[in-house]
Structure 1
């Protein structure tokens, strides 16, 4: 056998002879390299940040970096304080807030108690003009009622009639005005923050802070979680109230839990896989030495890969994080084929040296050809912009190459060293008899098998276009366990801060003026009614697009009627009334403008600036917004005139009110004291602090809460198209870009869809060319590719049948399936050629058993993920296991059937 080696096989034989002469040196060098990997392993970090999957110069990534530099983290650290005693909650919260503010390198600011008088003092300036006019109408009507005959009032008071009209009048009583009434009656244009962030029942209070770093910094997240937990424990909540419960909530707590859960899942699956591998290898080879012979070179190669990877990359992205699982599957393939061939050669009577040399020269070449095609495939991955491919490809090339080298050199060295301690003993049960079936019967069965395989593959490919991609990332996270129900009346921190139904984005303007212009645009969109958007865009709103913010028709009718009514007329004593003279209402033109549903000035500018399509989508997608400029109300000049008019009327008639009315009207008079317009400098300091960037400039950014499922590609893409860039310039173009993690998703998916076919096509061409160079026969190359192409086609059919979807996790397993499929084909065809193209039984019996074992062990490696509580990991495990089993089935059925049909022909 050794005398019949080809020139290439002789080179591998020379390498094997080198190992035979120096087994101890080879093993020690491998251990040192593995030790280097262990030493460097602590430096390897895994980033779950999606923006790491695309280049740094992509617009969404640039904006996130800009946001980080200018504003810092926008994630909030939340501490929930719960007890039946509100005073105890406040006392504990005050103490915790003070401790957090002085914590080193932790928080930008901490928020607990807030000064809110400024908002109440200027409340009416935040009310829309048409609602302020309606309030004026109510005030005039109320004054007339108050100055009417005391006898009539007395009768009315003594004989109240609980009619619907009286109830409505009570609701609209302008004397009964307070912060909550203004908020309820006049909508979101006015929103006074509470003094404390708490639930309605006062049982839950929140301390809220903004850390100096975001949740993407896993080390910082874990560190601050640990520090705050220690602080909360030291403060002993039970000393404030025996039933007090304090817990960390929000994004930092969630991210810490996510990282821990993925680590637990991977650790658990790894331990499971290791235990199963030990059992399977021991049973198959029927000797314990098979376990270290296969696993030790593999583990040392993976550790060395870790060490080399840390020298090239600071961290691995979300896709590359699973490279070591892939290397486990590919690497163990090499070891099993080499050890299985060695076992068969010894069983045939070869000596140790002869068996090692034959294995190294023949099977070593076959393994190397499989590795070469795999490396050729992965070497093309870096051409992609999608870093999930490019970084994965680089690490895979290193890992596969090292796995090959370690199996070619370390495994033979270990065989020699172990057999010096304990000699090899044959396993007689390996011998199998060949099939006694007549050739004609075998060929008929083979033809049937080939036809069935082709039909099944054709049907699967026909259904392949129906396979969908999972664009909703919320469906790929950890499977949440149902917790105990809170109960319908029990509230938590989310009720206190407002449930985050709409994910925020941060708009970053270059100047404060651009920030003000953006506010005008967003305010104009908000003030646009449903009727106006339909009128100006020519599109009918669907039920989910309706904001239901059209002015109340009844309110408009009352305002219209008030134009015909002299507001200064009095039913009594015109001579004594300083307002008795009849004048035209000074606000007549303003009221007519409102009744005619004329566009607000900001809305008019928006309509003129944007196209109908942009206008429609922007208005729907922006649920609400907030910036420092939001605290500077619009149309203050008109509003101050209306407020001044109401104040004049109330002050003039105050002496005619009853004592009860005088006490009530004090609430309204407080809101009517405002005399001057609000300026940026007049906004409370604590508010300005929240809107001041790292350069000490305020007014350059805004927060937008947008509609749509942000983890769904389709919704995120719509947001990206219409909101990522907003032109705020009037004559010249001034762009304001938004920053949000969900803007990364469309760029990731678009890059993946663009790079995927390109990389896959290039990889398949590279594999084909490598095989042509190695075998120099188109027919042989086609035979080698049969397991791969057949298995992929069948897998597509299973995806359709089981309604599975491709996703960002399971798509990486296709590289492993390609590697395994090509490798299986190379080993089967090479062994068939080695036996003179005449013994398919022997090929299936010897090489097929090794192919079976490599598939089984690789499936075991992914087996732990099959039961993971993380959906993404679960789909990764199932796709890999099913795909590799299909490769095995094709290698053991379709390919042997073709070999039987071609067996009589010379190759």
Structure 2
């Protein structure tokens, strides 16, 4: 069947090429429609209780994001101000607040300038008035707005709920423009941070990382192909179909409305890295057949037919591994699964259809120039590389058990690494050190105790009930008493509003209602819900501390001493990060298990030989194990992007063992007395080129700015090399042990 299909592809290569060109033009249009997304809720299932509580928080209380603006004296140059109590600084801050309040999405602002207006009825005119006002206030009143050395202060803008990349970009740029239009004195630096600032920076990095990593991936792959094929033009033969495949993938994402997010940003470089493997194996087999003296059309048919068998199996197992991502409850991983399957399918189809057409066109052009067809000489099938695979084949043929023993020792090292793996999903941890928004958040945490927020939603028949308000007050005091453990420095609720008005909590519900109306307490319209707002440093701690703090809030809410019928639940973005982290831990096991099962089933169905299946499958498991062990040893945590990495390595890792096993069986059936050596000599160079180009595509991700993208690139590159090493050692050793007695002949 494949022979017949190969003949059709070769005969009608022109028609197939025209169809590919049409799809390419359509895809270029689709790329213009690509959208970018950084909304955390879009990474979680919408029916999850934590997501519902978060949306309730936004809808019922108009609780949205916040913008934190750091105003900092950064130098002591002459002619400038020396601390933020200078009246010029306070006037500039007040002007900035006025500009911020003009935006319809800003619900409130707060700064030290408001304190002066409240006490003096105006802004201070000199330093004496500034000091007078500050001296009348208790220290704790300024703790959250002014640093102890008077060099840093904070402007907080509360926003209505907003979502989508366009809203984030608009808000960030509006506020950035407001900051630039206010004349702050010399020596003062103003930096925008908070949830909007970090989300904007992530969006900007996603966009730049997509373009940069794809470009570098293509350059790395091109240089490697030029080296192995000894020609720029021959290197283009597998590269051009890959360009078609990547362009079509991104174009169809735009046409289908699939956004680029923290997870799908890696798709471009991944398709470059993985897709090149298909074109390389077709091209290598073609050149191998030409070296044997076959004419160009026969060589192309043989390359498509014979390599097509292994490519079909490799594509199916890779797709099986990626299909496991579709079983995840996380929407981002389901999107990634669909995009990778679509991208690899397009890359494989383009490789099988376009590559033979380009090769024959290339040879026909050379014939017109030189007057005859020349047998191409490529580095992969000659010189040091060819000798190395011959030596490796002879070594494994003689000592298969020793080879497996060495592999076992390597595995023990990585088994220890498995015990060191952690999970980290907080968005700000995805941004590298030195970015202004992250450095500003460090200042917020160091100088002001942090501005991270966790909200506890309190549901009752009527939250104005005196018994409910007293329970809220007791709950707050218990939380604040544990501040050394939970990092909470401030708590706000309706209980605080009532106590500030009366000095106690009255038994009269009407009095409580009056205090709530005057104090602007967080209560919904029908008084069935209210909030307990906790502020502190939750985002700047280690992953294990973050999880411990969020678990503490869960336990406190669950065991809180409230009247019967009252429900208390944690909510907010920090808590959503914690929920996402727990889900990723659960999904890792599920995705990895299902991915492995699907790949094993595909291998068994395709080959129907238990021993052959073991020889192909074991390297993929070792590759995945070594990769995760490396993550533990290198301190790389699992995150949104890396949640499906085991399934990916399993899907990719089996390909190398499959190519080797398929060639071994082909040589064995043809009566070759040295099938192990011939298999390594024949497909080993192709696997090496494919692995290097694939890893090169993944290593291109190191050029990205996002830390999560760096980790993803390093991890997958290690996974590729681990799978290749396992395939070059374990698969031949097992095949030699399983089939050694059937092989006859003398050593080469």
- Fold match, TM over 0.5? yes
Q: 2:575 aligns with which of 730, 735, 743?
A: 743
- 1:479 equivalent to 2:345? Answer no
How far apart, in 2, do the equivalents of 1:428 and 1:32 lie?
34
Q: Which residue number in structure 2 is paired with residue 286 of structure 1?
A: 230
Structure 1 residue 816: Cα displacement: 3.3
Q: 1:78 aligns with which of 56, 65, 69?
A: 69
CA offsets per residue over residues 37-92 of structure 1, 9 Å max, x none? 33222433343344333211111111111222231413125363866283333443
Structure 1 residue 363: Cα displacement: 0.6
- 1:448 equivalent to 2:448? Answer no
Q: Which residue number in structure 1 is paired with residue 124 of structure 2?
A: none
Does structure 1 retain, via aligned residues, the 8 Å contact 2:611–2:738? no
Q: Which residue number in structure 2 is paired with residue 66 of structure 1?
A: 56
How far apart, in 2, do the equivalents of 1:638 and 1:348 lie?
95
CA offsets per residue over residues 722-759 of structure 1, 9 Å max, x none? 255686752x4121433211222343233333333233
Structure 1 residue 473: Cα displacement: 4.4
How far apart, in 1, do the equivalents of 2:193 and 2:488 lie?
27
How far apart, in 1, do the equivalents of 2:135 and 2:513 lie?
25
- 1:828 equivalent to 2:660? Answer yes
> For 1:215-226, what aligned pairs fall within 5 Å after superposition?
217-226=164-173
The 1:116/1:508 distance shift into structure 2, 3 A limit, reads farther
Does structure 2 retain, via aligned residues, the 8 Å contact 1:522–1:625? no
How far apart, in 2, do the equivalents of 1:699 and 1:754 lie?
32
- 1:319 equivalent to 2:319? Answer no
Does structure 1 retain, via aligned residues, the 8 Å contact 2:498–2:515? no
Does structure 2 retain, via aligned residues, the 8 Å contact 1:80–1:204? yes
CA offsets per residue over residues 697-744 of structure 1, 9 Å max, x none? 8983331236754854532541452255686752x4121433211222
How far apart, in 2, do the equivalents of 1:881 and 1:178 lie?
60
Q: Which residue number in structure 1 is paired with residue 452 of structure 2?
A: 503
Q: Unaligned 5+ residue runs, structure 2?
A: 74-79, 121-131, 368-372, 744-748
Structure 1 residue 865: Cα displacement: 3.4
Structure 1 residue 762: Cα displacement: 2.3
CA offsets per residue over residues 382-420 of structure 1, 9 Å max, x none? 222233433322222222222221211122222233344
The 1:212/1:865 distance shift into structure 2, 3 A limit, reads same
CA offsets per residue over residues 586-645 of structure 1, 9 Å max, x none? xxxxxxxxxxxxxxxxxxxxxxxxxxxxxxx9xx676531124412217948899xxxxx
Q: Which residue number in structure 2 is paired with residue 702 of structure 1?
A: 532
- 1:16 equivalent to 2:25? Answer no
Tell which deviates more after alignment, 253-262 or 521-530. 521-530
CA offsets per residue over residues 121-178 of structure 1, 9 Å max, x none? xxxxxxxxxxxxxxxxxxxxxxxxxxxxxxxxxxxxxxxxxxxxxxxxxxxxxxxx99
Q: Which residue number in structure 1 is paired with residue 329 of structure 2?
A: 385
Partner-residue secondary structure (3-state), 2:570: strand
Q: How many residues matched?
A: 699
Does structure 2 retain, via aligned residues, the 8 Å contact 1:90–1:205? no
Partner-residue secondary structure (3-state), 1:114: helix
Structure 1 residue 284: Cα displacement: 0.5
Q: Unaligned 5+ residue runs, structure 1?
A: 1-9, 121-176, 534-544, 548-616, 641-676
Q: Which residue number in structure 2 is paired with residue 130 of structure 1?
A: none
Partner-residue secondary structure (3-state), 2:272: helix
- 1:752 equivalent to 2:584? Answer yes
How far apart, in 1, do the equivalents of 2:52 and 2:686 lie?
50
Q: Which residue number in structure 2 is paired with residue 209 of structure 1?
A: 157
Q: Which residue number in structure 2 is paired with residue 553 of structure 1?
A: none
How far apart, in 1, do the equivalents of 2:252 and 2:291 lie?
39
- 1:92 equivalent to 2:122? Answer no
Structure 1 residue 856: Cα displacement: 0.3
How far apart, in 1, do the equivalents of 2:620 and 2:678 lie?
22
The 1:846/1:387 distance shift into structure 2, 3 A limit, reads same
- 1:183 equivalent to 2:173? Answer no
How far apart, in 1, do the equivalents of 2:416 and 2:444 lie?
47
CA offsets per residue over residues 848-894 of structure 1, 9 Å max, x none? 00000011011111223346664333322222122211222222233
TM-score by length of 2: 0.81
The 1:492/1:381 distance shift into structure 2, 3 A limit, reads closer
Larger Rg: 1
Q: 1:882 aligns with which of 714, 718, 743?
A: 718
The 1:52/1:224 distance shift into structure 2, 3 A limit, reads closer
How far apart, in 1, do the equivalents of 2:522 and 2:479 lie?
29
> For 1:563-642, what aligned pairs fall within 5 Å after superposition?
623-633=489-499, 636=502
Does structure 2 retain, via aligned residues, the 8 Å contact 1:515–1:699? no
- 1:853 equivalent to 2:689? Answer yes
The 1:521/1:380 distance shift into structure 2, 3 A limit, reads same
Structure 1 residue 336: Cα displacement: 0.7
Partner-residue secondary structure (3-state), 1:703: strand
How far apart, in 2, do the equivalents of 1:42 and 1:203 lie?
46
Cα RMSD of the aligned pairs, angstroms, is: 4.2
Partner-residue secondary structure (3-state), 2:499: coil
CA offsets per residue over residues 181-232 of structure 1, 9 Å max, x none? 7735xxx6xx5899xx666787766554233345x64322222332333344
Partner-residue secondary structure (3-state), 2:158: strand
> For 1:353-364, what aligned pairs fall within 5 Å after superposition?
353-364=297-308
CA offsets per residue over residues 101-138 of structure 1, 9 Å max, x none? 334x4423444653789999xxxxxxxxxxxxxxxxxx
The 1:285/1:903 distance shift into structure 2, 3 A limit, reads farther
Q: Which residue number in structure 2 is paired with residue 44 of structure 1?
A: 34
CA offsets per residue over residues 530-573 of structure 1, 9 Å max, x none? 9xx9xxxxxxxxxxx586xxxxxxxxxxxxxxxxxxxxxxxxxx
Q: Which residue number in structure 1 is paired with residue 375 of structure 2?
A: 426
How far apart, in 1, do the equivalents of 2:54 and 2:201 lie?
24
TM-score by length of 1: 0.68
Does structure 2 retain, via aligned residues, the 8 Å contact 1:294–1:336? yes
